[in-house]
């Protein structure tokens, strides 16, 4: 069984984001990169499947800048068997990324039985790549999954939708699944795992190697800027019990007359 996990390297959630002076992207020099948190659920799910099917092979695939390979190394330290990296800039659009991932998966010569990914990357927040990849491979897909069961080649997954309702899908492999928080608890890479990961194979390709060019760009970004600071709000002191009712009544009035939201 060939399982592929798509991972992305993204700025740590605590990173301060600063647009470049020309607005073409963000400053990346001092960013601390981590594996996209949603991708950790995908890696964990792949490893859980591997535990149940020891013959399964888990390959992690990433498209991004080469400067460090933390996300792939972490995934291999967690237990993935091998990795594949397509060297690219960090601001590719979803279509190009999906096409590059497809190319990298095909380069392994293995036919995917399952492709797992995080439901979204917390950098561009697009929620597109898994579904695009599924369409490109002509495979069924379910996104935002929070539950997973597997029996032979039948997969039963729960997809979280509005209001916390769950759609239950049953389908046969091969499938593409986009994972959400709540699906599992990602394991830590262990120290022996980190040592072992050093010896695991990591294939590297260029975008051209996997058949992706500038002509594949579908979405263009420009004018990166910080969101506008709101003008200072109004602050009311309601620490004095005698004035609380008056203050609250005033705020409620403003919500209707000034802000017009009630």
Residues 176-215 that bind other proteins (CB under 8 A): 181-182, 188-192, 194-195, 198
Instruction: Find the shortest distance in angstroms from Cβ 101 to other proteins.
Output: 13
Residue 29 interacts with other proteins (CB under 8 A)?
A: no
Kindly report whether the peptide bond that precedes residue 10 is cis, defined as omega within 30 degrees of 0.
no
Q: How far apart are CA 62 and CA 105, in angstroms?
A: 10
Site for other proteins in 76-115 (CB under 8 A): 77, 93-95, 98
Instruction: Find the shortest distance in angstroms from Cβ 203 to other proteins.
Output: 18
The beta-carbon contacts of 146-154 under 8 Å, at least 24 apart in sequence, are 146/180, 146/181, 146/182, 146/183, 147/183, 148/45, 148/177, 148/183, 148/184, 150/49, 150/52, 153/113
Residue 249 interacts with other proteins (CB under 8 A)?
A: yes
Q: How far apart are CA 126 and CA 113, in angstroms?
A: 25
Which member of 3, 4, 8, 11 binds other proteins (CB under 8 A)?
11
Residue 227 interacts with other proteins (CB under 8 A)?
A: yes
- Considering only the stretches 49-57, 81-89, 126-134, 204-212, report the one whose residues sit in contact with other proteins under the rule CB under 8 A: 126-134
Give the DSSP H/E element, type plus range, for residue 105.
helix 94-107
Residue 48 interacts with other proteins (CB under 8 A)?
A: no
Phi, psi of 252 (to 5 degrees): -60, -40
Instruction: Find the shortest distance in angstroms from Cβ 252 to other proteins.
Output: 4
Residue 140 interacts with other proteins (CB under 8 A)?
A: yes
């Amino acid at each position: 069984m060939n399982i592929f996990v798509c991972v992305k390297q993204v700025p740590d959630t605590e990173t301060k984001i600063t647009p470049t002076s020309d607005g073409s992207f963000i400053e990346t020099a001092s960013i601390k990169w981590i594996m996209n948190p949603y991708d950790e659920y995908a890696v964990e799910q792949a490893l859980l499947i591997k535990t149940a099917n020891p013959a399964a092979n888990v390959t992690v695939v990433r498209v991004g800048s080469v400067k460090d390979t933390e996300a792939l190394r972490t995934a291999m330290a967690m237990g993935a068997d091998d990795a594949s990296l397509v060297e690219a800039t960090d601001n590719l659009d979803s279509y190009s990324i999906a096409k590059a991932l497809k190319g990298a998966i095909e380069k392994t010569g293995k036919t995917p039985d399952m492709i797992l990914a995080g439901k979204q990357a917390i950098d561009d927040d697009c929620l597109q790549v898994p579904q695009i990849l599924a369409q490109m491979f002509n495979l069924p897909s379910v996104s935002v999954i929070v539950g997973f069961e597997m029996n032979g080649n039948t997969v039963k997954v729960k997809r979280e939708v509005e209001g916390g309702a769950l759609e239950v899908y049953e389908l046969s492999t091969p499938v593409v699944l986009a994972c959400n928080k709540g699906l599992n608890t990602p394991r830590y890479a262990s120290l022996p795992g980190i040592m072992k990961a050093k010896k695991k194979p990591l294939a590297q390709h260029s975008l051209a190697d996997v058949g992706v060019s500038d002509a594949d760009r579908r979405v263009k970004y420009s004018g990166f800027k910080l969101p506008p600071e709101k003008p200072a709000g109004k602050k009311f002191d309601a620490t004095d019990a005698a004035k609380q009712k008056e203050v609250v009544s005033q705020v409620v009035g403003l919500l209707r007359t000034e802000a017009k939201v009630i």
